[in-house]
């Protein structure tokens, strides 16, 4: 009788939890739709990346990229979510960009982008790749930006604005293509903090990072337009995961409220 009871329990309960399957079968599962904030087109063009392989009841892990303009509030957002036990947070390695063996490629780039753009972006590519391949220590990883935005936004901006020589752009492009072809860079969801360039300009001045004092509003406008073309209008590059857009011009109190409102959608990337 006990055996029958167990069999019945398995029959009813296991189908509800396919990722906890006890068989050795590999299950391919699609993450649930993320509701109205998700951009439909990015979902459809990224179905392969968004599928999840689950084997032997192994715990499914999810990676979320937090994208947005300079000083849009990404670090502040990550700080908030770092208090959640299932989430590990990886901030951008800006301190390395400001100090590699005593040199400051970030500062040099802002002083003379044509000369130092390649130097900074090569180092950004290396340090972001290092972040992407770090073993995960929690079920959900939220990381600030990605090797994709480094290329599609910042390298693109330097090149399009005439501040990066063609040869530098070609070398970085070949490196980038090689990396994404040969190294797995997982992503399940992109959270985009959508701000106006003006808001970022004000927050940038308030943060007062020494290297960034030379940044004009026009620079933030260019970065903004590249982000919008990529993640909202789908006019430039492939989007490697669904996009959750969070309007981020609001004050801190309203932003924390919005983060709470979106918590489920973010955690759902893990289901």
Ligand X SMILES: Nc1ncnc2c1ncn2[C@@H]1O[C@H](COP(=O)(O)OP(=O)(O)O)[C@@H](O)[C@H]1O
Ligand Y SMILES: Nc1ccn([C@H]2C[C@H](O)[C@@H](COP(=O)(O)O)O2)c(=O)n1
Pick the binder of ligand Y from 54, 94, 108, 267 (CB under 6 A).
94
CA–CA separation, 7 and 5 (whole Å): 5
Tokens 């968004």 appear where? 50
Alpha helices per DSSP H over 99-183: 105-111, 113-133, 147-149, 156-160, 166-182
The verdict on 207 binding ligand X (CB under 6 A) reads yes
CB-based burial label for 4 (10 Å; 0-12, 13-18, 19+): exposed
Residue 86 has φ and ψ, to the nearest 5°, of -80, -5
- With CB cut-offs between 5 and 8 Å by kind, which of ligand X, ligand Y, none does residue 73 bind? ligand X
**Pick from 34, 64, 118, 150: which binds ligand Y (CB under 6 A)?**
150
In this chain, which of 70, 87, 220, 243 binds ligand Y, going by CB under 6 A?
A: 70
Q: Which C-beta is closer to ligand Y: that of 94 or that of 126?
A: 94
Residue 203 is a binding residue for ligand X (CB under 6 A): yes
Residue 76 Cβ vs ligand X, minimum distance, rounded to whole Å: 3
Nearby residues of 246 by Cβ (< 8 Å), 6 or more positions away: 37, 191, 192, 193, 194, 258, 259, 262
Query: Mask 220-259, x = binds ligand Y (CB under 6 A)?
Result: ----------------------------------------
Nearer to ligand Y, 77 or 150 (CB): 150
Q: Is 156 designated active site? A: no
Entry field: residues in the chain: 271
Q: How many C-beta atoms lie closer than 10 Å to residue 152's C-beta?
A: 22
Bridge partners for 29 per DSSP = 52
Under the binding rule (CB under 6 A), the answer on residue 202 touching ligand Y is no
> What residues form DSSP beta bridges with 247?
194
**Residue from the set 19, 37, 41, 76 that interacts with ligand X by CB under 6 A:** 76
CB of 73 to ligand X, least distance (A): 3
Q: How far is 148 from 224, CA to CA, in rounded Å?
A: 15
Catalytic residues: 144
**Which residues would be at the binding site for ligand X (CB under 6 A)?**
68, 70-76, 203, 206-207, 250-252, 255
**Which residues would be at the binding site for ligand Y (CB under 6 A)?**
70-71, 74, 92, 94, 106, 120, 124, 150, 154, 212
């Amino acid at each position: 009788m006990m055996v029958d009871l167990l069999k019945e329990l398995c029959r009813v309960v296991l189908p509800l939890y396919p990722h906890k399957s006890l068989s050795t079968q590999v299950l391919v599962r699609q993450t649930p739709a993320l509701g109205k904030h998700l951009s439909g087109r990015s979902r459809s063009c990224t179905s392969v990346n968004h599928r999840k392989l689950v084997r032997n009841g192994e715990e499914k892990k999810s990676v979320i990229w937090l994208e947005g303009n300079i000083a849009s509030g990404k670090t502040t957002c990550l700080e908030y979510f770092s208090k959640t036990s299932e989430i590990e947070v990886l901030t951008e390695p800006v301190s390395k960009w400001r100090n590699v063996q005593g040199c400051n490629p970030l500062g040099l780039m802002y002083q003379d982008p044509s000369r130092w753009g390649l130097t900074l972006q090569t180092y950004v590519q290396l340090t972001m790749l290092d972040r992407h391949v770090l073993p995960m220590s929690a079920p959900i990883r939220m990381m600030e930006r990605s090797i994709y935005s480094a290329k599609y936004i910042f390298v693109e901006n330097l090149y399009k604005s005439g501040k990066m020589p063609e040869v530098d752009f070609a070398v970085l492009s070949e490196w980038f293509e090689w990396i994404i072809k040969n190294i797995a860079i997982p992503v399940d969801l992109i959270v985009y903090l959508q701000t106006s360039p003006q808001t970022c300009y004000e927050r940038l001045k308030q943060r007062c990072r020494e290297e960034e004092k030379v940044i004009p509003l026009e620079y933030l406008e260019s970065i903004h337009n590249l982000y919008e073309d990529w993640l909202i209008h789908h006019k430039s590059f492939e989007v490697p995961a669904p996009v959750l857009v969070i309007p981020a011009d609001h004050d801190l109190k309203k932003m924390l409220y919005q983060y709470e409102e979106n918590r489920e959608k973010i955690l759902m990337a893990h289901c």
